[in-house]
Amino acid sequence: MAATLDVLHLEIHVAHACNLRCESCSHYSDQGHKGIVPLDEARAWMSAWSGRIRPRIFSLVGGEPTLHPHLADFVRLARSQWPAAALRLVTNGFFLHNHPDLPRALQGDDKAEIHLSLHHRSEDYQRAIKPNYDLLRSWRRQYGIRVVRYDSFGDWRRTHRGSGADMLPYQDGRPRESWERCKARYCPQLFDARIWKCAPLAYLPMQHARHRLSPQWQPYLAYQPLEPGCSDEALRAFFAREEEPSCAMCPAEPEHFALPMPLVRRPKPRPE
C-alpha cells in the first residue's frame, strides 16, 4: 500500500481567467487566459492524490476563483478530499457578491479562511473593492467566517520579461538563488491531475498554446511534473527537492516595481 506523505502546501486553480491584469503575474493571469476548472475534473485531480498526500494548507487560487459559477461546491469538494487541511480561498474579492451560498459552505469550518488579496493602493481601486469588502465583513459577523486581508502590491516583482509572444525567461543561470528569492517556492500546483513545482511551470504550457512562445522556453516546457502513479520514493523526493534547473527561468535578483492599476473594467454594481 502506498504511504501517505505530510506536505506543507498545495494549490489548485479554480479558474484560469482573471478580472485583473496584474503585470508579470506568476500565474500568467494577465495574459488573457479564459476558462474554469470544472468540478468533475477537479474531483478527479484531487482524488488522485487525496490518499497519498496530506497538505497542511490547501489553497484555492487562480486566475480569480470567484469567476467560477459553482465556487461554493468547489469549496465543499476541496474540504471533502482533505478534511484536516487548513483551507484557503484566495480572491481579489470583486465578485464575491455572485456567491451568496459561499458563506454557508464555510460556516462552522474553523480551519477555513477567505484571503482577500488587494492589488493596488489607489483610491479608485479601494473605492471599487469597498462594497465587497463590506460584504465580507458582514459574512464574518453573521457566519463567523475567518477573513485575512493582505496587500499583494507592496513587494511586486517581475517573474518573466515581457508578455505574450514576446515573453522571455530570465535565464540567470543561478537556480539556487532564484529558488531562495522565490515568493512561491512552497506553492506546488495541482493541475491536470499532476503536481507541478510552481505556478510558472504549471501554466507555462497553457501560455505557450495561446502565444507560441520563444524557443528559449523549450527547456522549461520540457519540465516533467509528478504523476499520480509515482512511487513513494519519487513522491518524497519531489517534496524534499529545493532548487532545480527549471528555477533558472525566474530571476536570481528580482526586479521590484510599482504595479500599474490592474483594473481593466469596473465590476457591475452589487444588487442592494
Sheet holding 5-15: strands in order across? Answer: 146-151, 112-118, 86-91, 53-62, 5-15, 189-191, 194-196
| Helix 39-47 × helix 71-81 angle, to 10° | 10
- Which pLDDT belongs to residue 154? 87
- Closest C-alpha among 13, 3, 6, 57 to residue 190: 13
What is the rounded distance in angstroms from the CA atom of residue 178 to the CA atom of residue 157? Answer: 13
- Which pLDDT belongs to residue 270? 43
All structural domains of the chain, each given as residue ranges with its CATH number in brackets, are 5-249 (3.20.20)
Q: For the segment 96-110, what is each residue's pLDDT rounded down to a tens digit? A: 999 999 999 999 999
Q: For the segment 200-228, what is each residue's pLDDT rounded down to a tens digit? A: 999 999 999 999 999 999 999 999 999 99
- Alpha carbon of 161 to those of 70, 76, 199, 250, 264: distances in Å? 35, 38, 16, 9, 21
What is the rounded distance in angstroms from the CA atom of residue 97 to the CA atom of residue 138? Answer: 12
Mean pLDDT of 15-22: 97
- pTM of the complete model: 0.94
What is the rounded distance in angstroms from the CA atom of residue 270 to the CA atom of residue 93? Answer: 12
Question: Element (H or E) spanning 7, and its range?
Answer: strand 5-15
Mean pLDDT of the chain: 95
